[in-house]
Structures are given as structure tokens and as C-alpha cells.
Structure 1
Amino acid sequence: MTTLRVLGSAAGGGFPQWNCNCANCDGLRRGTIAATARTQSSIALTEDGTHWLLVNASPDVLAQIRATPALQPARAPRDTGIAAVLLMDAQIDHVTGLLMLREHRSALPVYATPPVLQDLAEGFPLSRILSHYCTLETHCLPLDASPFTVPPLDRLTLHAIPLDSKPPPYSPNRAAPRRGDNIGLRIVSASGKRVFYAPGLGSIEPHVRAELDQADVILVDGTFWTDDEMRRLGLSPRLARDMGHLAQSGPHGMIAALDQAPAARKILIHINNTNPILVEDAPERRELAAHGIEVAYDGMEIAL
């Protein structure tokens, strides 16, 4: 049976964010709100409970490994259950964890699109840095949604779904986005269960609508509640859409998009520290529940 485990459910910076004193972060530190700390977003997939595909390598990966004993099966003096890493984009909160895996005893298999691999060779040269340690064994993902597998998880069929987005701020191509800067991932288990995973989703394009409509489980961008969340709190002049995220609320927001999907489970992930849905008894959380939408948490497991 295929298992999907949420290693981290927060957006970049985690929750609480180290330098943030918004109502959520301050309330969690003081114990005055009903909320749970979260690490930066990543999931892991397994078919046998021993070999795992890590989807995104969060800066918090070492803490996530400690919290997930199956990722360290201890079969030898040096061991890991991480068979490979698949990157959804080249954002710092999704790739920096590769540096933490530098002691890997052989070349670390990494699957990513050509634009992401280019950014990791030039803008943020992790591939060059890690060539002095474990080295990366890179594999280019197809951008035509064709199926591929990642050994030894050979019964798990994956499809990279290009999304409308921008490369990271450090990228030489920041002002000239390319197809493949950001992807969603269609995951099909041996039992035929279908998941659509997209932690960074800025708009519901027609092919994204099709993915949402055909998925049994949807695990998508839950970064912001409102488009002007960061601006209204005085934390950033940018809107959610400027950062490539579709806010949950509003007539054309993520809730409205998910309402049209027949999926058995609809789950938000990559939740920013400012988002009121982090507060378990908040009215926004009750609104999500009324729409049948869950909020991901670290350690959440989904059987496929």
C-alpha cells in the first residue's frame, strides 16, 4: 500500500517564523492560541515503509527525519530510507535541505525540471557545492505530463504538471519565467488512487481544473487566507498573487475552486505563519470545515 506522509506543512519560514511577531506566531510562543508548530513544506511517499521518495528538501529536513523514524531504518552503520528527492521548484524553502543530506554515501538521485536544474547549477549552485560531498545524480522531468517512475518505487506512477509561476528571486530568469519553473505532481498509486499535489498554485488553469476534478485526494496551496494578508499586516507590500499563490477566500479563491472538485479529501498545505487557519478554533477554520476542507499538519498520513 502506498503511504503519503506530510513531513512539513508550513510555508517558507515555518510556524512560528523565527523573526515574526504576528498574532499567530506570538500567540503560539505564548501559548495563548490553539495552534501547533509546523516545519516547512515537504511530503514523502513510500510503497513498503522502508524506501521513500522525498518531495522537496526543506531546510527543516533533519528535524523531519528525526520525527519520522521510518526515514532512518538503521540497517547499517550509515543508512537512510530516502531513495530519491523530487523537487517541485527551486525555491529556497524547497531545495536548501539538499545541503543537509550531503553525507549521503552515494550520489543522491534528484528529479527536477530543466529550469529547476539550471537554477541549481547557476543561480543557487547546489549541484556544484554538493559535487564536493555526495554529488547529485540528476534526472530531468518531462514537461508533457507523461508518466515516469522513481526506483525503487516502481509501482508508483508520477506525472509532472507545469504550473503558471515564476522562478525564485535569486534566479537569473526571474523576469523571464519558463515552463517548468514550478510544477504540480499527479501521483497514482498501484491501487489506482490519484493525488494532485501542488504546494505553490497561483491560478486555476484549464489543465489544473482537470487535475482537481479527477483526483481522489487534493493537497494544494494553502499559503494565504486573503490576497492582501501580508500587506494588511504591514509585513510586505506584495499581494498573494504577486508571490504566485491563490488565496483561499473570495469568489475566485481556493475554497471556490475546491468546492467544484468531487475529491474525497481536500487538504491545504504550505500554510503561511500569518494565515488564520492555523488557529484551530478560528472562524476561518470553521469555514473550511463547512466546505469539507482539511488543514495539513506535520506527521499527517494518507493511505492510497
Structure 2
Amino acid sequence: MRVRVLGTAAGGGWPQWNCACDQCGHARAHGLTRTQDCVAVSGDGSSWYLLNASPDLRTQLLAAAELAPGPGRRETPLRGVLLTDAELDHVLGLFLLREAAKLDVYATSTVLRALDTALPVRRIADPYGQGWRWHAVDGPFELDGGLIVHPFSLGAKKPRYAEDGDGSEWVAGYRIGDVVYAPCFGEWTEALDAALVGARVALIDGTFLTPDEMPAVPGHLSVVDSLPHLARHPSVRFLYTHLNNTNPLLSASRGIPLAAEIESL
């Protein structure tokens, strides 16, 4: 299995275009940048799937040689997208994929309903691709290349645009082979613990360093609050992703390339 990190920032990226905070000023002054959270995975190196579809997707795809089109004029190794939720920074990239003739999109039934009503991505994108398939995830499923995916629930935080009564399964995580992807969650749950058993790598929510960093923004367990839970899984390599532009960990880093391979798993 191969994992390709395409972006690690929260909504708005880093630096955020309309923000003059110290964090964003530091990024501009030092030429640092992180695009919005998105990951690509493949079981055979030929068929690739995105975990979320960020608004920065075009830039991210162009930076990843594995995702380049060919050999046919309109052939692409991109087979589909697995959505963890319906937040704008995770679904707007679907519009950028509208030229794809075929694409499989996986999400909870609650998220699919929102993308058919409150934010009608499906009705807008389908006439362009004409070969898109939308799948509700309610149990394990297999992807091209032999990857087995186990979805698990991570909460009921809905996006601001969503309508009341749309459903409760808003946030999901995925266990794919030996990798766990859970970029957004408000609390550490038994379902997350279960998904981590036997995993080798986990990309988890690192939006905020501390709970008082942006207390008015719910749905994200801070790094300091999640760290004690990591000790229960000493064999797992944890990587924090979805870092907000306010997170001091960004300035402590030197930035990362737009596309970076974690490792072959």
C-alpha cells in the first residue's frame, strides 16, 4: 500500500489568504505554505483514491507524479474519493474533478444527502462526468488495487450550511489496510481506539494545539488532549494533519512539500 500526503492544513490553508495573524505572517515572511488536508492512497500503485477532495486539489494533483494522466489522452489513475464529512474544505475539490468520465465517491448516507440537497454537488457534477457513482458507506468495502476499507463513525458535527434533520452520521474515519485516516473528530472514542488496533500509521486531527486556541470552534479535539490516548497504541506511527493557521506547531516546522510520500506500507 502507498500513501501520498497532498495537503495537511485545515480550511483556508496556511497562510490563510485573509489572515494577518502572527502565524500567517511568519509563513509569508519565510515562504512557507501548506495546502488543505487531502491524502491519496493506492493498493497497487496504479489505482489511486483520494481521502477528501480539497479546494487546492488541482495544485496538489499536479505536484504528485503518481497521479499524472496517461498513457491514454484522457486516462487517469484516479479512481475515486472517500469523504470523511461534508465540510467545504473536504468536498469543494469534487467540482475540480468534473472532467473525470468515471469516479466513485464514498461517504455516509448523511453526507451524500447533504451533497444532493443543501450543497447539490451531485446534481452539478453528474452532467459533466456522466459516469460518476455515489456510494453510501455502511460497512467494509473493497477498492481497486485490493484495498479493504473499514469506515467508522466519528461524530455528528454538521457543516454550517446543512439543514436540520438531514441525519446524524456526519463525520467518519477510515481504516484502510494498516492505515487509519481520521482528520476531524471532537472526542476520542471507542470506535477510534478499535480502528487503531493493529494499525501501523494513523493520520489524525491536529487542527488545534490547545483547547483554548479557538474555543468557539467545536468538533476538533486538541493535540494536547489527544496525546494521552496515543500511549495506548505504542506501535502506531501517529501523524497530525488538518492543522489550522492558528496552530503554533506550524511555525515550529519548516513546512513540507505539496506532495510527500509517507512510505510504502
- Please indicate the TM-score interval, normalised by the length of the shorter structure: over 0.9
Q: Is the 8 A contact 2:26 2:251 kept in 1?
A: no
SS of the residue 1:246 aligns to: coil
Deviations along 1:180-223, whole A, 9 cap, x unmatched?
A: 211010111xxxxx222100011112222222344221210000
Q: Please state if 1:125 is matched with 2:120.
A: yes
* Letter paired with 2:176: I
Matching residue of 1:138: 134
Matching residue of 1:205: 189
In the alignment, structure 1 segments of 5+ residues that lack a partner are 189-193, 232-237, 283-294
Matching residue of 1:269: 241
Per the normalisation by structure 2, the TM-score is 0.92
From the superposition, tell whether residues 281 and 79 of structure 1 become closer, same or farther in structure 2 (CA, over 3 Å).
closer
Q: Please state if 1:111 is matched with 2:95.
A: no
RMSD: 2.0
Mark the structure with the bigger radius of gyration.
Answer: 1
2:154 aligned residue (163, 171, 177): 163
Matching residue of 2:140: 147
What is the alpha-carbon distance in structure 2 between the residues aligned to residue 215 and residue 202 of structure 1? Answer: 21
Matching residue of 1:26: 25
Matching residue of 2:251: 279
Q: Percent identity of the aligned residues?
A: 40
Deviations along 1:213-239, whole A, 9 cap, x unmatched?
A: 4422121000001112135xxxxxx14
User: Which protein has greater RCO, CA pairs closer than 8 Å, 6+ apart?
Assistant: 2
What is the alpha-carbon distance in structure 2 between the residues aligned to residue 30 and residue 36 of structure 1? Answer: 8
Per the normalisation by structure 1, the TM-score is 0.81
2:86 aligned residue (84, 90, 103): 90
From the superposition, tell whether residues 68 and 296 of structure 1 become closer, same or farther in structure 2 (CA, over 3 Å).
closer
What is the alpha-carbon distance in structure 2 between the residues aligned to residue 76 and residue 128 of structure 1? Answer: 28
Q: Is the 8 A contact 1:8 1:298 kept in 2?
A: yes
* Letter paired with 2:151: A
Aligned pairs for 1:1-304 within 5 A? 2-31=1-30, 36-104=32-100, 106-135=101-130, 136-142=132-138, 146-150=139-143, 152-153=144-145, 155-173=146-164, 178-188=167-177, 194-230=178-214, 238-239=216-217, 242=218, 244-249=219-224, 253-280=225-252, 298-304=259-265
From the superposition, tell whether residues 63 and 132 of structure 1 become closer, same or farther in structure 2 (CA, over 3 Å).
same
What is the alpha-carbon distance in structure 1 between the residues aligned to residue 122 and residue 102 of structure 2? Answer: 11
Q: Is the 8 A contact 2:99 2:129 kept in 1?
A: yes
Could you list the structure 1 runs, at least 4 aligned residues long, displaced by more than 6 angstroms after superposition: none
From the superposition, tell whether residues 133 and 297 of structure 1 become closer, same or farther in structure 2 (CA, over 3 Å).
closer
* Letter paired with 2:244: N
SS of the residue 1:29 aligns to: helix
Deviations along 1:157-194, whole A, 9 cap, x unmatched?
A: 11110112311111113xx5744211010111xxxxx2
